[in-house]
Structure 1
């Protein structure tokens, strides 16, 4: 299956998830991640503010921040690359270029992700064998992940059934080390 067809199929499946299922998924993912010592010890976390049918991250971002982590969220640039700014509580967000909530803090630049001790990214699917993630097709997170050091944990958040075999990959596609689903965390081969 090509990327476009797979994206369409996954988006249709996500659209069928009830609000109750989405809330339960968010809680499961959040609790799974917060139970990991390497998540608890991460001083600087790059995450994202979820939209639509993505696994919800609002509670995760807030919990990381309340537990003392500095959380950076992306700021979408006009060239679809990702700048980064610090989240300092729910009152420090405003709608960005695409209507996605972004921190109002000073921009740290596209290279700021290099300093993160943990990187959490969205995905529509992740290949269970290779860790290659399928995003929405803009390449923003592939560019950001290419800047992350080789020993930094990278985690894609998924709904059940989105950790699959056979995600189509191109040379620019970046892999993640972990996939977090409502039922647990899977370490992926790199």
Structure 2
């Protein structure tokens, strides 16, 4: 299946998940992540503010922040690259491009993600073997992942059934080391931690 078809298929499947089931799945993902020592010990976490039918990250971001982590969230630049700014509670967000909530804090630059001890990214699917993630097609997170150190845990959040045996990939598509689903957290072949 090509990327466009797979994206459309996954988007339709996500839209059919009842809201209460999506919420319960997001809670399961959050709790599974918060149990991991490499999440608990991460002093600086790069995450994202979920939208639409994505696994919800609002509770995860808040929990990480309340437990003492510094959480940076992306700010979409005009060139579709990701700048980063610090989340300092739910009242420190404002709508950015496309209405996506972004921190109002000082921008830290595209390289701020290099200093993160944990990077959590959105995905529509992840290849269970290679770790290649299917995004929405803009390339923003591939650019961000290219800046992440080789030993930093990178995690894509997925709904049930989105960890696949085969995800189409191109040379610019980058892998994640873990996929977090309601069923648990799965290592890909790229996981070293």
Question: Which TM-score bucket, shorter chain as reference?
Answer: over 0.9
Q: Displacement of 1:132 after TM fit? A: 0.1
Matched, 1:67 2:67: yes
Matches within 5 A, 1:21-170: 21-170=21-170
Q: Displacement of 1:72 after TM fit? A: 0.1
Q: Displacement of 1:98 after TM fit? A: 1.2
Q: Displacement of 1:44 after TM fit? A: 0.1
Gaps (5+ residues) in structure 2? none
TM-score scaled by length of structure 2: 0.98
Gaps (5+ residues) in structure 1? none
What's the C-alpha RMSD, in Å, of the aligned pairs?
0.4
Q: Displacement of 1:109 after TM fit? A: 0.2
* Distance in 2, Cα, partners of 1:121 & 1:98: 18
Q: Displacement of 1:164 after TM fit? A: 0.2
Report what 2:13 is aligned to: 13
Aligned length: 190
